[in-house]
Amino acid sequence: MSNDLSIRDLSVAYGPVMALHGVSFDVPEGRIAALVGSNGAGKSTVLKAICGMVAPASGTISVGGTAIPARPGAALRQGVALSPEGRRLFGRLSVEENLRMGAYAVPRAELDPGVMERVYGYFPRLRERRRQMAGSLSGGEQQMCAIGRALMAQPRVLLLDEPSLGIAPIIVAELGRIIAEISRDLGMTVLLVEQNAQMALSLAATGVVLETGRVVLTGTGEELLQSPEVRAAYLGY
């Protein structure tokens, strides 16, 4: 079963305002794709459409060639998990309780007994703090917990929404390394949505630049890092 993510001619409207205009791109199986752009470009709307939080005006979203219905929960049932912007942890629950919440939709018979240990392997700090309330963690540790919670769903496709937001640069670098390891080790298809274009494109096999709801540039991560347009607009040089 293929785990590629395909988005074709996706348009989304909020009332009379079009947020996405015919967006199309692919995330190849087992690879990282970076979706970059400024605030208001439509990056989060793409994720909301994938997850069924907004209904497309037109277009299709599919995983492994199977279309995802435009309703909440459908993407998760097809193996797509989201680590949301702002982490959205249950602050009064422990780290381990938050992680277990990520597996709530996995049938007991299908739950890999080693998935928790795998998450702790990628994020040793979570193991050290597994009894600690999630709300008392640092920002970087909370982001690790949010990604770990998404991995507990045993997804085929992992969506990461602004994982670097509000995180110290040294932790951003650590998170980038771990995201690359997860994709490589697990054959995980990853869509990384970021304002931090340098971080995202340096990890990505494929890069997509959105502006005002339209795809304006695509290429390999390295090609976009070298693009004069990307450098001027997003990298500051």
- For residue 38 the two structure tokens come to 């400024």
Query: Does the residue 102 lie in any domain?
Result: no
| pTM higher than 0.85 | yes
* pLDDT tens-place string over residues 132-154: 999 999 999 999 999 999 999 99
pLDDT of residue 1: 62
pLDDT band per the 50, 70, 90 thresholds, residue 105? confident
The residue written with tokens 């339209």 in the block is: 214
Residue 70 domain flag: yes
Structural domain contains residue 85: no
Q: Is residue 210 one of the residues assigned to a domain?
A: yes
- For the chain, how many structural domains are there in total? 1
97 in a domain, yes or no? no
Domain of 60: which CATH number? 3.40.50.300
- Asked if pLDDT for residue 106 goes beyond 90, the answer is no
Nearest Cα to Cα of residue 201 among 214, 218, 187? 218
Cα separations in angstroms, 227 against 42, 200, 236: 21, 15, 12
Instruction: Answer yes or no: is 215 within a domain.
Output: yes
Domain-embedded: residue 64:
yes
Flag whether 103 is in a domain.
no
> Can you state the angle between helices 115-122 and 169-186, rounded to 10 degrees?
140
Would the pLDDT of 207 be above 90?
yes
- Tell me the percentage of the chain whose pLDDT exceeds 70: 98
Q: How confident is the model at residue 193 (pLDDT cuts 50, 70, 90)?
A: very high
Domain of 71 in residue numbering reads as: 1-79+158-163+192-237
Q: Say if CB 34 and CB 204 are below 8 A apart.
A: yes
* Model pLDDT for residues 5-61, shown as the tens digit of each residue: 999 999 999 999 999 999 999 999 999 999 999 888 999 999 999 999 999 999 999
